[in-house]
Structures are given as structure tokens and as C-alpha cells.
Structure 1
Amino acid sequence: MGLSPVAGGSTVDAVLDQLQAQVSDGSWPVGERIPAEHELAARLGVSRPAVREAIRALTHVGVLEVRRGDGTYVRSSADPRPLLRRVARASIRDFFEVQLAYDVQAARLAARRRTDADLARLEELLRARDEATEADAFGAADAAFHLGVAEASRNPVLIEAMRFFIDRLRESLRDIRLDREVPEAGPAAHRAVLDAIAAGDPGGAAWAAAAVVEPTLAVLETLAARDGVER
């Protein structure tokens, strides 16, 4: 079974389905290097970012393995799509619970390992986050700051895990901005995270990162209990 152009645009799910089909039917056996990102994009008629996100998702669940400077290889023939669909159906509360765990550890490690270049970049990301007003732009800017903290941690597993969840996190943050019942952490709370990272204070950075997420998570818990539904 060969690759064919994706109908209706460059959706990541459609790209992921075609890549997984190549693995499942044996066209790409375990141990084989798959075509380069630019070649896949051309054959599927989609953007390179769509291919990149699909590869990242399949890498995160162990189907593919990216070897820096060498290419991407098939690691397993298992089909992860049922798992990915469950992730896609997860509630906002589910994602904030995961974000709490990731953000706390990312901030702690970033305070130990950040460079001057990291601090300069985080300042820019925080400024963009604080200046964003429209919901979609805010979600993207807030998620970019959280990812920037993870990247400053220098932990490749944590960074890839954050990248895997970043699209859904972006959507969750956008939804929070649109939902007047759910509070969002403001500039001061995010500034406290960056200040602690800049000061090289792991404990303070972890505490500040938790303080960003926990108030929103507490309200989501209360609303879920009140409404009897997952948010």
C-alpha cells in the first residue's frame, strides 16, 4: 500500500493514519528508515509541520524512533491509534493535571540548567504571552512559554513529552480564556516562575510553577463535581 495525497487539507490525523498504515501492512518493516520529512510532505500533499506532528506522535508512543543526523526508523508495528484517540477525548482537567506534573519538574530543572540565552528567550515568550488578547493567540503564546521552560530543562524526554501534548494544551488554554467561570494565572504568577528560574532557585521555581496551575485545576475539579461532567 503506497502513500496518497491527503484529501481535504493537511490534517495531522490523516497523515498519522497513512504513516501508521505503512507500518501496519509491512510496507515499512521494523528497523527500516522511513522517507524524509520533505519527501513525505510532497507525496501526501501536506505541509511539513503536519508531517512533523504526526511523526512526533508516533515517536512518543514508540512506533517510530528519530535518530538525530540519521533519520526516522520504525521501532514497532503496534497500532497506537486507539490510545491517541483516548488522549484526544481527554478533558481539560485531565490535561491540566498532566501539565501540573510536567511544569513543576520542568521549572525545577530549568532553574538548575538554564543559560543566559534561555533566559532571554523566556523573557520574549513571557512578553508575547502577556500581550496576547485574542483567545487563539493567547493559547498559542501561553503554551509556547510553558514549552520554553521545558526546553530550558535540557531533559529530552520531558521536552518531547511537552511537545506531544502542546497542541491539546494550546486548545485547553484557549478554552480557559473563553470560559469566564475558570480563572487563568496572570502575568505575575508566570513572572514568578521566570524570576525563580533566573535566580537559580529550583524549589522556588517548582513552587511557582505549581501556583500557576493549581488554582485553575481546583476550579475545574469543583465545576466537574457540580455539573457531573468532565471539563
Structure 2
Amino acid sequence: MLEKTKRLTLVEQVALQMESLIESGKWAVGMRIPAEPELMAELNVSRNTLREAIRALIHAGLLKTKQGDGTYVCSASVLGVVLQKRILRSDTLHTLEVRHALEREGAHLAAQRRTSDEANELLLQLERCEAAAARGDIDGFVTEDIRLHQSIVTASHNEILIELYDHIAEGSQDSITSLTRYEASADLLGLHRQMVEAIIDQDADRAVAAVHRYIAESKAVLEAKGEGRL
């Protein structure tokens, strides 16, 4: 038997409107949301309704309140919150395997779909990684390396893959920093250059082969270090 369609309460409707502002990027992560009077006028709701909606989004992990300062956006989507909580309960190696699986598919699709502008940006981003490694700026290298992988996934033009990768990279960043430092070695940088050049040449098989090689190297390092929990 079919069940009757459940109508959303006013609080649920307001929460959904605010969630859409966050997911669209109009309310970016780190931004303080407008003050209560402004939101009440814009949404045409009472203070109690607005506060209940905000509490629901705080519970969902999208917003957080700083005492005496206001309410801030702390995640771009509910999916991001769920993934980050899951990563905190996961083994480092398992998290790395998921990240690399996404990078492998990202490189494959990027080689097929990248634009000329994206090809130029990938090469520039690779050179930023190499420059940071050459001057011994390991923290700088970590930042640039993560940006390189995000740029590759972005060039896949698959919105779901892009969103998943951004959340996985964000949630696992602290746990993989030491491994990313290892990627500054000449061998791993060489494999990254092979991957980027294959994407620029639109050679998907060669790009995936390069990813496979640095995945194997990275996993070997992690296993040798005996990394356990995140």
C-alpha cells in the first residue's frame, strides 16, 4: 500500500533553503551567515522557526555557533560531514586506497576531457610542486601537491567525482601529510610529471599507468611505516 506523502514542516523548509545556499556556494565554508533579523525578514519566518532550522543544520554538521560571534558555515554539504566522520573511524591505508582510486579515475577522465586551459594550469601546478620540493619547502609542497590532484580531478568534469574527492582529501589531509611529504622525492615527482604529461597528451592509459605506479610506491611506504589508525 502506498503511504501518504509527508509534507515538510516550516522548519524543514527553512533548513532546506539554508542548506541550498551552502551547497550552491553562496554561503561558503568559513563564512558567517547573516544575522537573525536579516534572515527572518528574507525568509519571512519567526525567530523560533529560524532558530530551530539553524539548530537542525548545526546538528547535521553544516553550521557551528561561536559564542558571542555568530553562526558560521563549517561544511559545504551533508555528504562532506558524513564522509569526514567515516574517515575518522577508518584505517589510514583504507583511506589512502579510496583517495587513490578516485585519483586514478580522475586522471583517466581528465586525459579524455581536459581543456587547453586546464592542460596549461596542470603544467603550472606541477611546476609549483617541483619548485617547492627543490627549495626544501615541504609544507609548501604538501599544499601544492593536494592542489595538483584536485586540479586533475576537476579536469575530469565529473561533478560527483569532484565533490567526493574534495571531501576525501579534506577529511584525510592530516593523516596523509607525512606520506605527501614523501611524494616530494625525485622518484615520486617523476611519476607525477609522467601523469600530468600523459593527461596533457590525452593518453588515458599512460596517465593511469603513472597513477598505478605512484599508488604502489605510496602504499609500500605507508605499510613500511606501520601506520594504523587515523
Give the TM-score taking structure 2 as reference length: 0.64
> For residue 208 of structure 1, what is the aligned residue in structure 2?
210
Match of 1:161 in 2: 164
Larger gyration radius, structure 1 or structure 2:
2
* Contact kept? 2:87, 2:171, Cα under 8 Å: no
Question: For the structure 1 residues 152 and 27, does the alpha-carbon distance in structure 2 shift closer, same or farther, using more than 3 Å as the test?
Answer: same
- How big is the shift at 1:59? 4.0
Q: Contact conserved, 1:147 with 1:163, CA < 8 A, in 2?
A: yes
Structure 1, unaligned stretches of length 5 or more? Answer: 1-24, 62-79
Give the alignment of 1:32-111 within 5 angstroms.
32-34=16-18, 36-37=26-27, 40-43=32-35, 51=73, 54-56=75-77, 58-60=78-80, 80=82, 84-111=84-111
Query: Does the C-alpha gap of structure 1 residues 125 and 32 become closer, same or farther in structure 2, counting only changes over 3 Å?
Result: same
Counterpart for residue 192 of structure 2? 190
Which of 149, 158, 171 lines up with 2:152 in the alignment? 149
* Structure 2 residues not aligned, in runs of 5+: 1-8, 36-64
The 1:173–1:142 alpha-carbon spacing in structure 2 relative to 1, beyond 3 Å, is: farther
Q: 2 CA distance for matches of 1:105 and 1:59?
A: 20
RMSD: 3.5
Q: TM-score, normalised by structure 1?
A: 0.64
- Give the drift of 1:184: 8.5
Ranked by relative contact order (alpha carbons within 8 Å, sequence separation 6 or more), the top structure is 2
Q: Percent identity?
A: 23
**Cα offset for 1:199?**
1.3
Give the C-alpha shift of residue 179 in structure 1: 7.1
Q: Which amino acid aligns with 1:210?
A: H
1:103–1:127 CA distance, 2 compared to 1 (3 A): same
Q: Residue 135 and residue 26 in structure 1: after superposition, are their counterparts in 2 closer, same or farther (change >3 A)?
A: farther
